[in-house]
Amino acid sequence: MSSTDFSSLNLKPDLLKNLSSLGYESMTPIQALSLPAILSGEDVIGQGKTGSGKTAAFGLGLLQKLDVKAFRVQSIVLCPTRELADQVASELRRLARSIHNIKVLTLCGGAPFGPQIGSLEHGAHIVVGTPGRIEEHLRKATLKLEFVTILILDEADRMLDMGFQDTIDKIIEKIPSSRQTLLFSATYPDEIADIACRALKNPTILEAPAVHEEDTIKQYFHLTNTDDERMSALRLLLAKHKPESALVFCNTKSDTQDVADELAHYGFYALAIHGDLDQRERDQALIRFSNGSVSVLVATDVAARGLDIKDLDMVINFNIAHDAEVHVHRIGRTGRAGKHGVACTLFSDRETHKLETLDIDLSNVNDPLPSAIYLDKPIKKPVMTTLKIDGGKKQKLRPGDIVGGLTGKDGIPGDKIGKISVAGNWSYVAVSSELVKTALKKIQNDKLKGKTFRVRILS
């Protein structure tokens, strides 16, 4: 018996038999890694993308634990979107085919509330849903979670991106602390560590093997002596590499604004961030860059310090850093999480001494710039576009209301919604650029929480 055989696990015979009838012959890597810990009742953090078999990993965990005779909600799965919740529910139903009378209920925003109340009155063993709607049921006391023994946070990073942190915290408060908690996430931003601290007990962390940063950052150095040369080098590099997210470092505030303005003049989706902007402008620039609707952010080191943005495709040093530590810190913002990153540094003859302090081999630093042909190519549009809604926390708007307002009839699919950020008096939501007009129309025609809000595209 190999360690990837499902029979090596202590599963209920009915569950095991059904797996072979589903054609699941051996465990996928995430299942083999996580199932022993899940079945022994431990809290687990797993790195699982869609397609890895993570649903069956937590699904078998919750079905093994379930007492079908006790007709009450014993398991809850929180998902970022309705599409994912539907997928999870159907996989759970397939895994549970051999258990009679098991009831899996989905509770998602964008669907009418009334029928959900009816279904809840009939009872369910497992609830799968999106945070906003589940919290609404808890507030209205149409759902009770006092008998839940296992909580699953699926695609936790996406739920946090969509602004569901507070909502998730409120849901967790209603679940007994004796529960088992499983968290799956494709990435591990700091916020995942925060939520793991609050919601999980001594979790077993199953990480994908770490990749060394040095191996994944490709550095280039380009000699540019005049201001004009520097600017056209920047345009060439952006035009050639077509990054979805690039951070350009300048050494002064006024340079960041000039460079961003000039890039925007040439059609790049670029913004500056520096200390002279007011808080709202700063927040807006950060939100648009981190939600993928602006692809170039031009910053000083100080302004970039608070930036919590992962997985940049590219870092460009428009001005070379003053010392080695700053340089390493700048370029370390790309090539994370096993991805490949590109770091380009522009320098002048007078700045070659700075390269020495970076421990760079001076005989090998003048990389050729991309061909000028790239300047004639169309500039890549960001995949996402930001909608700004003139309503926020003060108007009691929550991420779930915005998801609900965008999806459903004549709306857009939940997986076309990106980050949602709700501030005091306004909210920002990123949607796929190709569907932005549909999204705008839907949210303008429909009310959010019974009220009409002004919505516009930020461009």
The site for ligand AMP (CB under 6 A) is made up of: 24, 27-28, 31, 50-56, 91
SS3 content of the chain, % helix, strand, coil (to 5): 40, 20, 40
24 or 188: CB nearest ligand AMP: 24
Q: Min. distance of Cβ 24 from ligand AMP in angstroms?
A: 4
Please state, in angstroms and rounded to a whole number, the distance separating the CA atoms of residues 187 and 334. 15
Whose Cβ is closer to ligand AMP: residue 29's or residue 275's?
29
Nearer to ligand AMP by C-beta: 31 or 74?
Answer: 31
Please identify, using beta-carbon distances, which residue of 28 and 224 lies nearer to ligand AMP: 28
Alpha-carbon span 151 to 157, nearest angstrom: 16
Least distance (Å) from ligand AMP to the CB of residue 328?
Answer: 37
Give Cα separations from 247 to 325, 333, 347 (angstroms). 17, 9, 17
Are 329 and 312 a contacting pair, CB within 8 Å?
Answer: no
Q: For the chain, how far is it from start to end, CA to CA, in angstroms?
A: 59
Element (H, E) at 106: strand 104-107
Q: In what order do the strands lie in the sheet with 75-78?
A: 104-107, 126-129, 75-78, 150-153, 180-185, 44-47, 204-206
Least distance (Å) between residue 133 CB and ligand AMP: 21
Q: How far is the CB of 183 from ligand AMP (least distance, A)?
A: 15
Pairing of strands 314-317, 246-249: parallel
From CA 428, how far away is CA 140, in angstroms rounded?
Answer: 27
Of the candidates 256, 336, 329, the one whose C-alpha atom is nearest the C-alpha of residue 296 is 256
Q: Which residue is nearest to ligand AMP (CB)?
A: 55
- Least distance between ligand AMP and beta carbon 89 (Å): 12
For residue 47, the cross-strand partners are 185
Between 87 and 204, name the residue whose CB sits nearer to ligand AMP: 87
Q: Which is nearer to ligand AMP, 164 or 184 (CB)?
A: 184
Q: Which residue has the tokens 């937590």?
A: 58
Between residues 154 and 313, which has the closer beta carbon with respect to ligand AMP? 154
Residue 47 CB, nearest distance to ligand AMP (Å)?
A: 12
